[in-house]
């Protein structure tokens, strides 16, 4: 992915020298031409086209913002009208398929930033995250909701 961006940048610089005008607008035109060339020659690259990765990073940001607003509202309702008889705070373990350090850091930051859940510990083999949640009805449902939103989105950014 880094190689594709570098190549695109390089094509843009070559375009600037060819047209012998060193302005930002020439650079942007050269960058777009380079992007079209990379899309045409996409079969030569081993990894996916880098545009898709930027797109999935944007999607991850959108998912995060949506989750942030939704869980803020649900915690607000919990604070305004606490129902202590049915409230069920608990710790649970979340098995994760993420491997790299930055992926785990990103996942735990996203879980911690959404109100209602806090990552308290990462296991030594980095396969399990221990999470505290204020109000959980069903553990499997909570695990599934994190896995389907954040983990899937992070995997889309880092893999393939």
Partner 1 sequence: MKTNDVILQTATKVVFFIIFLFSVHIFFVGHYAPGGGFVGGLLTTGAIVLLLLAFDLKTIQQILPFNFTIVTAIGLVLALSTAGASIFFNVPFFTHAYDDFNLPLFGKTSLHTAMFFDSGVYLVVVGSAITIIQSIGGDD
Q: Which residues contact 4 (CB under 8 A, 6 or more apart)?
A: 38, 45, 47, 49, 50
Among 101, 113, 145, 148, binds partner 1 (CB under 8 A): 101
Q: Which residue number, 66 or 121, has a Cβ lying nearer to partner 1?
A: 121
* Nearest distance, CB of residue 101 and partner 1, angstroms: 5
3-state secondary structure of 107: helix
Stretch of 8-16, 29-37, 54-62, 115-123 contacting partner 1, by CB under 8 A: 115-123
Residue nearer to partner 1 on the CB measure, 12 or 107: 107
Asked if residues 153 and 107 have their Cβ atoms less than 8 Å apart, the reply is: no
CA distance 16 to 25: 10
Q: Please state the closest distance from residue 130 (CB atom) to partner 1, in A.
A: 10
**H helix runs in 81-133, sequence order:** 101-113
Contact residues for partner 1 (CB under 8 A)? 101-102, 104-105, 108-109, 119, 121-124, 126
């Amino acid at each position: 992915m880094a190689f594709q961006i570098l190549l695109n940048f390089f094509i843009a610089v070559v375009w600037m020298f060819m047209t012998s005008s060193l302005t930002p607008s020439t650079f942007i035109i050269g960058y777009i031409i380079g992007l079209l060339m990379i899309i045409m020659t996409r079969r030569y690259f081993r990894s996916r086209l880098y545009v898709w990765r930027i797109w999935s990073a944007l999607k991850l940001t959108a998912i995060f913002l949506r989750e942030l607003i939704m869980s803020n509202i649900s915690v607000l309702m919990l604070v305004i009208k606490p129902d202590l008889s049915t409230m069920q705070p608990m710790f649970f373990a979340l098995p994760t398929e993420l491997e790299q350090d930055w992926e785990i850091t990103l996942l735990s930051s996203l879980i911690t930033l959404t109100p209602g859940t806090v990552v308290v510990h990462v296991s030594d083999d980095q396969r399990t995250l221990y999470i505290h949640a204020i109000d959980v009805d069903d553990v499997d449902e909570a695990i599934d909701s994190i896995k389907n939103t954040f983990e899937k989105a992070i995997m889309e950014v880092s893999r393939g």
